[in-house]
């Protein structure tokens, strides 16, 4: 069940636990590295190295613990600074028990699906697992990766939305535009690499070393947007639960 309202880390910062769930090879690790990249541009060479690793990646990432994030007032309360943790789950069905352990104590799920029509069954399994958690009260935002592949190789977005609605993850098709988003981690990665190799890159970051939002490539914003939405929804849910106690 959801914590009430948030746990506090060793620095005294409220901490939100987000679980990134989806099929194997759908792009979970790529999304994590892109999110990580915009948080630590103070060392551009290191970030470039990490992003280039995605070309030959064979490993699996399960945890990302970074970042101070700002959000508008939620229910009249302003959390100016808080940390969010992002955990990823293994996509293979044989790891279902491990997924249940990882998701314990989460505040929300970022469901990452794969547009590739070869991932149809894996998408269904990920959706059904997430639907179980929705029944327990966890908020969900969905991101569909690989919108850069040819349309002939893609599962239509409308078909995935229909399943999300049928499983209760999205309340209705009219709500899908708010809770189902698309993008390409590969495009975002390439656009970030091009940006980081510019001679004036250090002019594009804040004094804390993070990439200024106005300089983020549009493809990167498509990756960040569902995370921002989920954080806001999860905060509202956590505060609602806290008020009911």
Express each pLDDT in 109-144 by its tens digit: 999 999 999 999 999 999 999 999 999 989 999 999
Quick one: pLDDT at residue 94? 60
Q: Is the pLDDT of residue 48 over 50?
A: no
DSSP string, 192-214: HHHHHTSTTGGGGB-TTSPBPGG
The architecture in CATH of the region 7-244 reads: 3-Layer(aba) Sandwich (3.40)
The model's pTM is 0.81
The answer to whether residues 237 and 108 touch, using CB atoms and an 8 Å cutoff, is: yes
What is the pLDDT confidence band of residue 105, given thresholds at 50, 70 and 90?
Answer: confident
**Distance between CA 25 and CA 113 in Å, rounded?**
10
Per-residue pLDDT tens over the stretch 61-104: 444 434 444 444 444 554 555 667 788 876 566 666 677 888 88
Q: Nearest 5°: CA angle at 178, between 122 and 230?
A: 70
Asked if the model's pLDDT at residue 55 lies above 60, the reply is: no
Q: Is the pLDDT of residue 228 over 50?
A: yes
pLDDT value at position 11? 66
- Domain locations in the chain as residue ranges: 7-244
């Amino acid at each position: 069940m959801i914590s009430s309202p948030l746990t506090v880390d060793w620095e005294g910062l409220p901490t939100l636990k987000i679980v990134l769930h989806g099929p194997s090879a759908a792009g979970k690790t790529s999304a994590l590295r892109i999110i990580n990249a915009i948080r630590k541009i103070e060392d551009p060479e290191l970030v470039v190295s990490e992003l280039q690793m995605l070309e030959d990646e064979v490993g699996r990432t399960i945890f990302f613990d970074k970042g101070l994030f700002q959000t508008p007032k939620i229910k009249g309360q302003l959390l100016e600074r808080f940390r969010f943790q992002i955990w990823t789950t293994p996509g293979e069905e044989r790891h279902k028990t491990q997924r249940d352990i990882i998701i314990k104590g989460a505040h929300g799920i970022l469901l990452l699906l794969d547009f590739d029509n070869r991932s149809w069954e894996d998408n269904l399994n990920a959706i059904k697992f997430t639907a179980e958690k929705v029944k327990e009260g966890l908020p969900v935002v969905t991101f569909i990766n690989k919108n850069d592949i040819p349309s002939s190789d893609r599962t239509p977005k409308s078909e995935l939305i229909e399943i999300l609605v049928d499983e209760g993850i999205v309340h209705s098709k009219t709500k899908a535009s708010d809770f189902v988003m698309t993008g390409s981690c590969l495009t975002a990665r390439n656009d970030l690499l091009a940006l980081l190799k510019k001679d004036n890159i250090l002019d594009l970051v804040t004094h804390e070393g993070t990439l200024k939002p106005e300089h983020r490539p549009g493809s990167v914003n498509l990756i960040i947007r569902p995370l921002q939405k989920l954080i806001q929804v999860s905060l509202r849910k956590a505060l609602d639960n806290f008020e009911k106690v």
